Amino acid sequence: MKFEQLDINTTLLNNAVACGYTDTTPIQDQVMPLLRAGSDVLACAPTGTGKTAAFLLPIMNELLGSTDIADTKALILAPTRELALQIGLEVEKYARDTAIRYALVIGGESIDDQLYLINRGVDLIVATPGRLHQLLDEQLIDLRALQFLVIDECDRMLDLGFITTIRKIVHKLPNKRQTALFSATLQEETELLARELLRKPIKVEVKAAPLDMALINQTVYYVDKQNKMNLLLHILKEEAVPSALIFVRTRADAEKVADALLKAGLDAAALHGDLEQVDRQHIFKDFMNNRIALLVATDVAARGIDIPTLTYVFNYELPNEPETYLHRIGRTGRANKTGFAISLCSNAELRFLKPIKALIGKKKFTTIEQHAFSYAPREKGTPRNSASFKGNIRNKTCDITQSEDLL
């Protein structure tokens, strides 16, 4: 339906429309009326389908209707600090020009700062389970007036082993509350958890739309490992890529690739699990706000991160699981905008490419063998043809410094 038709607070509605939303997504269509009617909901829909707004808008609408201003009435639990931060940014957008106040309760940051905010009074808290549990346990935070609980990215919560912590948190919350559980996939454990924590839950499921893939231009370049950086620099320049998420396999690779990009004079940063939390958050925020153009990330660090303006995803290294490939490229081609997924495939990675192509369909890929840094994928024993310049016209416009030590 049209956003304008949603019967919610006008400021809230205008803020959502100001985000560029015109129509609600299918999961929003289904979840919003249920939450507004007071039902507990178990909602499952693929990543990038607008689940955050599906719970935030109805809850924030209730918060705006509430007269009792001092207490925290809504709690959103997210599995990682990055996701909590991202939800926080979305709360900020929708809360513009309203009296809604929120706080983040996440690990790796000053407890005192978080408590200071909370003690001044917040309507909504976005939290990761560990830190929230700590504050509840030490009775530093009072959630006795809580009315809404959302557990977001439930599948990841389970994967990361947060189930016990979540149980402990929920035991400290009022029984009389509305609870919603959101997930990108439905595992058996998710349903069990829903049965345990939710009251007469209504299950809503939206399946992945296969059409989405049509919006993503998928290109594979065959290239020798040692030429990947040169090729990446070449593509970035050639296609005037404004901003990109670049996936690598390991933390060390993330550092190396980001360093090489920096050396080439580009605006890049690495995001991976070895970084201090404060640094991760800065980097993440800078990328979200377009202050960093190129983010080089490992799968774990980037999981669940959604950047609405992202048009380019690079697989600097191919993942070994085809599902991971889908996850990676699913971050672009959102909301009817075309996205580009560019994979740099070395000879050794051909074995990863095969299952990826099998999963997605060979026809969806454009394969580029002839380019400034081509090699021909070869059978064992055939002569090597690496790093040859094939006289492609692209060469002529490529004035990027070639460097052996880039990677």
Name the residues that contact ligand ADP, by CB under 6 A. 19, 21, 23-25, 28, 45, 47-53, 306, 308, 334-335
CA–centroid distance for 196 within its chain: 27
The distance of closest approach from Cβ of residue 159 to Mg ion in the complex, given in angstroms and rounded to an integer, is: 15
Choices 50-58, 64-72, 91-99, 200-208 (CB under 5 A): range interacting with Mg ion: 50-58
Q: Which two tokens stand for residue 64?
A: 């705006």
Nearer to Mg ion, 236 or 307 (CB): 307
Quick one: what does residue 156 bind among Mg ion, ligand ADP, none, with the CB cut-off 5 to 8 Å set by partner type?
A: none
Nearer to ligand ADP, 48 or 201 (CB): 48
Nearer to ligand ADP, 75 or 231 (CB): 75
Nearer to ligand ADP, 23 or 323 (CB): 23
Q: Do the bridges between strand 244-247 and strand 294-297 make them parallel or antiparallel, or are there none, so unpaired?
A: parallel
Q: Which two tokens stand for residue 134?
A: 């700590």
Nearer to ligand ADP, 323 or 369 (CB): 323
Helix (H) or strand (E) holding 249: none
Which position's Cβ is nearest Mg ion?
A: 51
The distance of closest approach from Cβ of residue 190 to ligand ADP in the complex, given in angstroms and rounded to an integer, is: 15
Contact 306, 47 (CB under 8 A): yes
Q: What share of the chain is helix, strand, coil (3-state, %, to 5)?
A: 45, 15, 40
Choices 28-36, 48-56, 293-301, 317-325 (CB under 5 A): range interacting with Mg ion: 48-56
| Torsion from C-alpha of 265, 267, 270, 276, nearest 10 degrees | 110
Choices 47-55, 121-129, 172-180, 208-216 (CB under 5 A): range interacting with Mg ion: 47-55
* Nearest CA-CA partner of 197 in 210, 181, 214: 181
Looking at 9, 16, 51, 84, which residue binds Mg ion (CB under 5 A)? 51
Quick one: what does residue 37 bind among Mg ion, ligand ADP, none, with the CB cut-off 5 to 8 Å set by partner type?
A: none
The distance of closest approach from Cβ of residue 405 to ligand ADP in the complex, given in angstroms and rounded to an integer, is: 38
CA-to-CA distance for 199 and 180, rounded, in angstroms? Answer: 10
Q: Which two tokens stand for residue 14?
A: 């205008």
CA angle 186, 191, 193 (to 5 degrees): 120
Nearer to ligand ADP, 231 or 292 (CB): 292
Angle, in degrees to the nearest 10, between helices 51-65 and 10-18: 150
Nearer to ligand ADP, 48 or 374 (CB): 48
The distance of closest approach from Cβ of residue 334 to ligand ADP in the complex, given in angstroms and rounded to an integer, is: 6
Quick one: what does residue 24 bind among Mg ion, ligand ADP, none, with the CB cut-off 5 to 8 Å set by partner type?
A: ligand ADP
72 Cβ neighbours under 8 A, 6+ residues apart: 118, 122, 123, 124, 125, 141, 142, 143, 145, 146
Instruction: Compute CA distances 91 → 76, 287, 311, whole Å.
Output: 11, 18, 24
Nearer to Mg ion, 27 or 118 (CB): 27
CA-to-CA distance for 332 and 312, rounded, in angstroms? Answer: 7
Quick one: what does residue 346 bind among ligand ADP, Mg ion, none, with the CB cut-off 5 to 8 Å set by partner type?
A: none
260 Cβ neighbours under 8 A, 6+ residues apart: 229, 406, 407
Choices 4-12, 51-59, 103-111, 363-371 (CB under 5 A): range interacting with Mg ion: 51-59
Helices (H), 97-141: 111-119, 129-137
Choices 49-57, 173-181, 314-322, 365-373 (CB under 5 A): range interacting with Mg ion: 49-57
The distance of closest approach from Cβ of residue 49 to Mg ion in the complex, given in angstroms and rounded to an integer, is: 9
Nearer to Mg ion, 190 or 343 (CB): 190
Q: Dihedral of CA 342/334/49/205: which sign? A: negative
Quick one: what does residue 335 bind among ligand ADP, Mg ion, none, with the CB cut-off 5 to 8 Å set by partner type?
A: ligand ADP
The distance of closest approach from Cβ of residue 71 to ligand ADP in the complex, given in angstroms and rounded to an integer, is: 26
Q: Tell me which residues touch Mg ion (CB under 5 A).
A: 51
